[in-house]
Chains A and B, each alone.
Chain A
């Protein structure tokens, strides 16, 4: 459903990403992992249509992405600046639904359902500054869910919360997105997280970012924070991905280049 063909972007003389080729299938959870400054955010912003890449193409359902597509939602890393502080949780979630042409009542109902789904049914009237970081990020996940996108982009969505909240949110996203059959592209710098959350892990190199690894995560579902992480297969995959992120060559590297 999502296809990146030779996606390249330069900011002036800075070469952020270089000829990224990637295909994401319907319903897949793909984690993009890479060292800091590998152009992960540039990649996400190109897919979301927030910047116009200097080279290559982004195809969503076979159509090139122009401006911001209406079947795509983003959960940003910085929840404190992604939610509008002058709106309640409910209003934050329901505001984007105006694009769906729903009337006010239908919008509020859909927003309430999404908030309930992320466990915030009782906090709908709260304002962002009345909530913890984890709750705020749940609101932004609810906002994305209510919008019913086919593709959900997540930019280090759990980067700014504590470890425990992070685990809760990882499981929440897996559960809810599986339920809605959403396709997810999650960007992270955390190797462990990429293996735990993803059906597939794509590794980017240092800038200019390009795909240096593409692994299928063959772990039994549903994932469990304790049991999944103690599986031998998980430990092995984590080590493989970790090596690739650090730029140590192994077999997978060549495999990708010959595709």
Chain B
């Protein structure tokens, strides 16, 4: 990194308006209905979702009806997958025997593309939120699980020996040594999962759903509303960016020790 800090980051943002202007020019020259100009997309986004009353931070009914369920599924799926992934990952990371038994199953499960399991989830759960949650959880659990297992397996030997010398109880070793030591890797997994959760949230709403961003996108597409389709695409991009940025902020708070320790070594 040659330029640090807020000023440096701000200075590099010039690329954004340049890209926008180029995009605008290109779409105007091409004049294709499939590729609306960004200016019209922005207007449509505003009409669709941000022309509501001030008391609701400008959000329209449509925005609330579509974002609410989507974000709810996204977060519920991510949190469930995160909890299950960390629990299983710790067990696998701390027990070589369990890891040996489960490894083939995990490698198999990880390789299966989650959208392919949609029919199975439909058969298992009712159509609607349970199925959508299952798709998200199944799709995003892997990075958390595998990263947690790896983090717990590779705890520095000296950390563990120190704990043994001072006679830490088993729960203490887990809670106060293994988990904090694995935390950087767990967070890396959680971040990856969050971006996957957004994708799978849309995928899950494209099938058998009657609400949400994915459903909106599908309806717009089926009705040849290209500006609307693009509005949804931009919305998803912005959402992904915001999720990632908030997660990084959270991570930098919780893992301050790790980031600063690495900087000084």
A interface residues, Cβ below 8 angstroms from B: 48-50, 67-68, 70, 72-74, 76, 78, 80-82, 84-86, 95-96, 98-99, 127-130, 143, 147
Residues of A within 8 A of B120 (CB): none
B261 & A85 in contact (Cβ 8 Å cutoff): yes
When the two chains form the complex, which single residue of B158, B164, B177 contacts A68, counting CB atoms closer than 8 Å?
A: B164
Which of B38-46, B66-74, B166-174 is the interface stretch? B166-174
Complex interface residues of chain B between 154 and 209 (CB less than 8 A to chain A): 156, 158-159, 161-162, 164-169, 172, 176-177, 180-181, 183
Name the residue on B nearest A50 (C-beta).
B161
A99 to B169, CA, bound (A): 8
Residues of A within 8 A of B164 (CB): 49-50, 67-68
A129 to B255, CA, bound (A): 13
B167 & A86 in contact (Cβ 8 Å cutoff): no
Best-buried of A72, A84, A143 by chain B (most CB within 10 Å): A84
B interface residues, Cβ below 8 angstroms from A: 156, 158-159, 161-162, 164-169, 172, 176-177, 180-181, 183, 257-258, 260-261, 264-265
Number of A-B contacts (CB under 8 A): 67
When the two chains form the complex, which single residue of A48, A95, A127, A147 contacts B176, counting CB atoms closer than 8 Å?
A: A95
Residues of A within 8 A of B180 (CB): 84, 86
A96 to B156, CA, bound (A): 18
A85 & B257 in contact (Cβ 8 Å cutoff): yes
A68 & B167 in contact (Cβ 8 Å cutoff): yes
Name the residue on A nearest B180 (C-beta).
A86
When the two chains form the complex, which single residue of A48, A67, A127 contacts B257, counting CB atoms closer than 8 Å?
A: A127
Known contacts: A81-B159, A98-B172. The answer to whether A127 contacts B167 by CB under 8 A is: no
Residues of A within 8 A of B260 (CB): 127, 129-130
Residues of A within 8 A of B156 (CB): 81
A50 & B165 in contact (Cβ 8 Å cutoff): yes
B168 & A96 in contact (Cβ 8 Å cutoff): yes
B257 & A70 in contact (Cβ 8 Å cutoff): no
Residues of A within 8 A of B166 (CB): 68, 73, 95-96, 99, 143, 147
Within the complex, what minimum Cβ distance (angstroms) separates B169 from chain A? 8
When the two chains form the complex, which single residue of A67, A85, A95, A143 contacts B258, counting CB atoms closer than 8 Å?
A: A85
Residues of B within 8 A of A147 (CB): 166
Residues of A within 8 A of B265 (CB): 80, 129
Residues of B within 8 A of A80 (CB): 265
Within the complex, what minimum Cβ distance (angstroms) separates A67 from chain B? 8
Name the residue on A nearest B259 (C-beta).
A129
Residues of A within 8 A of B177 (CB): 84
Residues of B within 8 A of A74 (CB): 161-162, 165
Name the residue on A nearest B162 (C-beta).
A82
Within the complex, what minimum Cβ distance (angstroms) separates B162 from chain A? 5
